Amino acid sequence: MAKYPRVREQHIAVFGESGSGKTVLVSSFFGPTQEGSYKNDLWDLVADDTGQGVRLYQNYLGMRDRSTAPMQTRFKATTYYFSVKLKGGDNDAAKKRPFDVLRLAWHDYPGEWFEAEPSSSEEHNRRTDNFRSLLRSDVALLLVDGQKLLDYRGEEERYLASLMANFRQGLLRLKDDLLKDGPIIEFPRVWILALSKADLFPDWDVDTFRDLVILKAAEDVERLRSTVAGFIETPAALSIGEDFMLLSSAKFELKSNGPQTLDIDLTQRVGLDLVLPVASLLPLERRVQWHERFDIPRKVLDSLADGAELLAAGLAGGKFAPVDKFLARMAKVDRGGKVAAMAVPILAKAVQLAGPELKKMNEQARAQHDYLRATLTQFKRDLEQGVIDKVIRNPK
Ligand SMILES: Nc1nc2c(ncn2[C@@H]2O[C@H](COP(=O)(O)OP(=O)(O)OP(=O)(O)O)[C@@H](O)[C@H]2O)c(=O)[nH]1
Ligand SMILES: [Mg+2]
């Protein structure tokens, strides 16, 4: 018998220099879901570690009610575990679903890593160990600090070049230790360039940001890409500099009447609702695209979006007849060839769902109280909307 609740875990790594907005981001992601007035008809978000959850909510309340941003956490690596708990635990649809909880592990890396050499060999070892824990992430967000872009207005290439070089250096310092056993199979393979503090650029969309990066820093991004490619097995399966998004945790505004005070409007967020969809669905989509384009060794496919079959089954559900049979076989632990071969068309179909057909499936799933499918189709709709609104851009 399977254990209940069945949990599917997804990791996301957030990289950014000190002050680029990582801690505010995770606080603003979580905080609103803890407000008394928060409503979500499909799932509840909880922090697996109560103390962590309280601290994040405190950060959020500090911003909301006192206009103070959280303390910087420059030297501290933290992994936050959140669980998206699907509603409707004991209905019929729930009994058939492949999982009940989608757990998000959010790795918040200290800015200092990318700026300074480790001060001792213990510090070096600590960094290496911490870095190992993020290798399970499929997606990494690379933050480009909007405030720095403003500070370097007109010569953004200087900031962007140093940012990319710092990321490269941060990785290269760990390379020998990480590659002791040869190229790494499981490694983040989708690196999204994300503009943090996008509220500082009210008239930008994701294309404005992308054009700036390409115009001013294409070579630096390419250098970072080839550095990362040097870490991994099957380097063709790697996207860096292809996905872009805008992020803003709140609208931060200086009030200039009287003594200068900060106004933080947390109702005006950008891109945060895309974090769950990006973490859960983007690896699945990329896996299908890469699989269609070139031969990827099985071990790499399996490590990329591991458990993608379950997600695809949750997404496409009973609409595609093979799914039930497929899940039954999965349950019998046929991890070999046959199940994988069956999975390909299911994955492809799940990924292709779009537009009116996707909308219809989402409405049906809601009507049938099939909360898993409703949630996953909603995530897919959110991604679609993010593209339409030009908050996120993915390669075709
Ligand atoms: N305009 C604007 N400012 C922001 C936003 N998010 C963060 N900031 C500002 O940036 C400062 C630093 O944010 P943090 O989240 O603490 O930065 P961090 O990346 O965690 O930095 P370290 O902990 O040093 O690694 C905050 O105190 C805010 O003043 C945002 O979305 N918009
Ligand atoms: Mg921080």
Q: What is the pLDDT of residues 54-70, one digit of tens each?
A: 999 999 999 999 999 99
Q: In what order do the strands lie in the sheet with 78-86?
A: 43-47, 78-86, 101-108, 7-15, 139-145, 190-196, 239-246, 392-393
Residues 6+ apart with CB under 8 A from 300: 185, 233, 234, 237
Query: Computed over its alpha carbons, how large is the radius of gyration of the chain?
Result: 21
For residue 338, is pLDDT > 70? no
Q: What is the pTM of this model?
A: 0.90
Tokens linked to 207: 């294309």
Does 239 sit in the ligand 1 pocket, CB within 6 Å?
no
The residue among 197, 103, 80, 84 whose CA lies nearest residue 149 is 197
Residue 385 lies in a domain: no
E-only strand ranges, the chain: 7-15, 43-47, 78-86, 101-108, 139-145, 190-196, 239-246, 251-255, 261-265, 392-393
**Across 134-148, 244-258, 336-350, which has the greatest mean pLDDT?**
134-148
Residue 135 belongs to what domain range? 7-271
248 Cβ inside 6 Å of ligand 1 = yes
Among all bound ligands, the one having the nearest atom to the CA of 200 is 1
**How many alpha carbons lie under 13 Å from residue 282 in its C-beta half-sphere?**
34
Q: Is the CB of 27 under 6 A from ligand 1?
A: no
Q: Which pLDDT score, from 0 to 100, does residue 157 have?
A: 97
With a 6 Å cutoff on the Cβ, whether 373 touches ligand 1 is no
The yes-or-no verdict on residue 345 having pLDDT over 90 is no
Q: What pLDDT is stored for residue 359 in this prediction?
A: 94
The pLDDT value recorded for residue 325 is 55
Half-sphere exposure of 73 (CA within 13 A, CB side): 20
Position with higher pLDDT, 40 vs 322? 40
Name the nearest CA neighbour of 7 among 311, 289, 231.
311
Which residue's alpha carbon is at the smallest distance from atom 14 of ligand 1? 21
Nearest ligand to the CA atom of 18: 1
If one counts the domains in the chain, the total is: 1
In this model, does residue 389 exceed pLDDT 90?
A: yes
CA of 35 relative to ligand 2 center, distance in Å: 22
Q: Which atom of ligand 1 is nearest to the CA of 70?
A: 16
Note whether residue 41 is domain-resident.
yes
- Ligand 1 centre from 19 Cα, in Å? 5
Distance (angstroms) between ligand 2 centre and the Cα of 76 equals: 8
372 or 249: whose pLDDT is higher? 249
Q: How many CA atoms lie within 13 A of 373 on its CB side?
A: 28
Is any atom of ligand 1 closer than 6 Å to the C-beta of 116?
no
| 37 C-alpha to ligand 2 centroid (Å) | 27
- The CATH number assigned to the domain holding 247 equals 3.40.50
Which atom of ligand 1 is nearest the CA belonging to 247? 31
Pick the residue whose CA is nearest to atom 29 on ligand 1.
69
Q: SS3 breakdown of the chain: % helix, strand, coil, rounded to 5?
A: 50, 15, 30
Torsion sign (Cα): 330, 335, 337, 340: positive
d(CA 214, CA 219): 8
Q: Is the CB of 385 under 6 A from ligand 1?
A: no
Tell me whether residue 240 is in a domain. Answer: yes
Residue 136 domain-assigned?
Answer: yes
Asked if the structure places residue 379 within a domain, the reply is no
Q: Nearest CA to 88 among 30, 35, 36, 44?
A: 44
* Inter-CA distances, 269 with 32, 120, 199, 248, 386, Å: 11, 39, 8, 5, 13
- In a domain, residue 184? The reply is yes
Asked if residue 382 belongs to a domain, the reply is no
Q: Does the Cβ of 118 fall within 6 Å of ligand 1?
A: no
pLDDT in tens, 109-140: 877 777 778 888 888 888 888 888 777 788 99
The pLDDT of residue 307: 66
Tell me whether residue 298 is in a domain: no
Per the DSSP assignment, residues forming a β-bridge with 255 are 261
Question: How high is the pLDDT of residue 142?
Answer: 95
- CA–centroid distance, 140 to ligand 1, in Å, is 18
The token pair that represents 390 in the structure block:
């030009």
Q: Which atom of ligand 1 is nearest to the CA of 24?
A: 15
Ligand nearest to the CA of 196: 1
Question: pLDDT category, 227, cuts 50, 70, 90?
Answer: very high
Q: How confident is the model at residue 334, as a pLDDT? A: 44
| Ligand 1, pocket-test mutation among 72, 78, 147, 195, most atoms within 8 A of CB | 72
